[in-house]
């Protein structure tokens, strides 16, 4: 049997981290077992679904690298098929028309609640004669027996059919409801494993009964726990960035987010860092925790820093380039991005930090950092910078070792400690008091920019200090 999993988001917003984790678990399971991963867009909520949200989901999946083997399939393209199945259920006697008004249903609900009964449809129209007028279609749920779910995460779940009412599978305008469309899609697409959030547990017995009525094979279910914020509430916008693409905007590597998400509810001993290949090899649904996981932004930040420090610099540079574009900077106007990554990765925890703290390599600055100037640009410092300018100008090569030696030799010649030479130089060429090692900074800037900026700093000191 070929394993077939699916990710089926509703395009009513962005791709959130909870959905991304579900997609990741489904993707990993398919990849581990040599199966197929299907993307399905459940867009039957015509009022709330939008193409913008579809694009956001597709963009998020692409950025995370969760490539799908089939799809995307759109439910709005399959209305004829749903109509056909609804008619089949009617013809079989497994569904019926319901003519109850909203007022009748509200009154029934109020009465049941007053009697401290579980609100549920009472099956009034099961034997009603066919008639014209407004009507919905309900699935005739079995009256007896149990639905048994051997959930790969939660274990065995048993639900008595008498606890389930006859759910609506087609609205009065003829459009199908979620519980019908998801069943038909899983059946037609041959889905073998349904991996989804445990907020769907209550839907599962109803969907199994519909599948049985259609004579379909039952998939294996795995309901993964919710993701909570630090306050114990379900993760939401108020907890911060919950959109996958917001994490891209905030400077996270996609691999770091994947690594963090796979560890939300799953573990492999004490191991924290996983390559994608390791995730595929080691992931096991039966080792997913039953309890909810808490999202910890500080842990994600730590993980991202590990990826910045240890990933292939070319991979980091690929993502860093996008952030330079967001700053309006063309990386071709300065040093190779891989060299910038190597110089900055120990100090920067996000790609945003790395880009913002590397702007001076690509773009001239208009002013100097006030605090740094006050501390380091004093009368007489122009002579130090002039000495450095002359030594740098006479260099035939421009390598970190030679640049480092110039700074050391200049400090000795001027009888100053190294900081009194390197720090004014750093502010002169960067505009601020923080940068990578001074020799690496000068090397990345190049000879022309270094000399131009030292000369400008000398003039600034003469005029203002």
Give the helix/strand (H/E) hosting 86: helix 79-92
Judge whether 417 and 411 are in contact, CB under 8 Å: yes
CA dist., res. 434 & res. 441, Å (int): 10
Phi and psi torsions of 290, nearest 5°: -80, -35
CB of 40 within 8 A of CB of 30?
A: no
Q: Which of 237, 287, 378, 462 is catalytic?
A: 237
Residue 411 to residue 23: CA distance in whole angstroms: 58
Q: Are 441 and 427 in contact (CB under 8 A)?
A: no
Cα angle 94, 99, 102 (rounded to 5 degrees) comes to: 120
Tokens of 206: 């109803």
As a whole number of angstroms, the distance between CA 434 and CA 126 comes to 76
- Residue 163, phi then psi, degrees to nearest 5: -85, -10
Which residues are CB-neighbours of 341 under 8 A, at least 6 positions away?
308, 313, 316, 317, 320, 354
Whole-number Å distance between alpha carbons of 324 and 203: 46
Q: How far apart are CA 346 and CA 351, in angstroms?
A: 12
Decide if 237 is catalytic. Answer: yes
Cβ atoms within 10 Å of 277's Cβ, excluding its own? 9
* Active-site residue list: 237
């Amino acid at each position: 049997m070929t394993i077939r999993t699916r990710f089926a988001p509703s395009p009513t917003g962005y791709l959130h981290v909870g959905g991304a984790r579900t997609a990741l678990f489904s993707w990993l399971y398919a990849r581990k077992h040599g199966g197929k991963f299907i993307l399905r867009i459940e867009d039957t909520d015509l009022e709330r679904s939008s193409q913008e949200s579809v694009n956001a989901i597709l963009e998020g999946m692409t950025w995370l690298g969760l490539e799908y083997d089939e799809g995307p399939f759109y439910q709005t393209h399959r209305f004829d098929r749903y109509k056909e199945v609804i008619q089949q259920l009617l013809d079989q006697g497994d569904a019926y028309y319901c003519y109850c008004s909203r007022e009748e249903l509200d009154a029934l609900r109020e009465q049941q609640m007053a009697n401290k009964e579980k609100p549920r449809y009472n099956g009034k129209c099961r034997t009603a004669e066919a008639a014209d007028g407004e009507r919905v279609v309900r699935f005739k749920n079995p009256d007896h027996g149990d639905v048994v779910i051997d959930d790969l995460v939660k274990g065995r779940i048993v639900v008595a059919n008498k606890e389930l009412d006859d759910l609506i599978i087609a609205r009065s305008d003829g459009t199908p409801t979620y519980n019908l469309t998801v069943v038909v899609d899983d059946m037609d697409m041959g889905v073998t494993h349904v991996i989804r959030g445990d907020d769907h547990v209550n839907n599962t017995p109803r969907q199994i009964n519909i599948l049985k009525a259609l004579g379909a094979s039952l998939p294996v279910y795995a309901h993964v726990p919710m993701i909570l914020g630090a306050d114990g509430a379900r993760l939401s916008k108020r907890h911060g960035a919950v959109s996958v693409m917001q994490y891209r905007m905030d400077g996270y590597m996609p691999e770091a987010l994947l690594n963090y998400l796979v560890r939300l509810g799953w573990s492999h001993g004490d191991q924290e860092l996983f390559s994608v290949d390791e995730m595929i090899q080691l992931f096991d649904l039966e080792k997913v925790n039953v309890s909810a996981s808490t999202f910890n932004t500080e842990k994600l930040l730590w993980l991202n820093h590990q990826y910045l420090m240890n990933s292939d610099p070319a991979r980091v540079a690929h993502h860093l380039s996008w952030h330079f574009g967001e700053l309006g900077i063309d990386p071709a106007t300065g040093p190779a991005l891989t060299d910038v990554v190597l110089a900055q990765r120990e100090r920067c925890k996000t790609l945003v930090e790395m880009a913002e703290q590397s702007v001076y390599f690509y773009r001239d600055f208009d002013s100097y950092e006030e605090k740094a100037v006050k501390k380091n640009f004093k009368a007489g410092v122009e002579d130090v910078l002039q000495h450095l300018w002359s030594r740098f100008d006479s260099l035939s090569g421009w390598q970190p070792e030679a640049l480092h030696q110039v700074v050391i030799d200049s400090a000795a010649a001027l009888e100053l400690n190294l900081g009194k030479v390197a720090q004014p130089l750093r502010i002169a060429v960067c505009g601020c008091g923080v940068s990578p090692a001074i020799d690496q900074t000068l090397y990345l800037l190049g000879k022309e920019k270094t000399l131009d900026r030292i000369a400008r700093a000398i003039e600034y000191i003469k005029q203002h200090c």
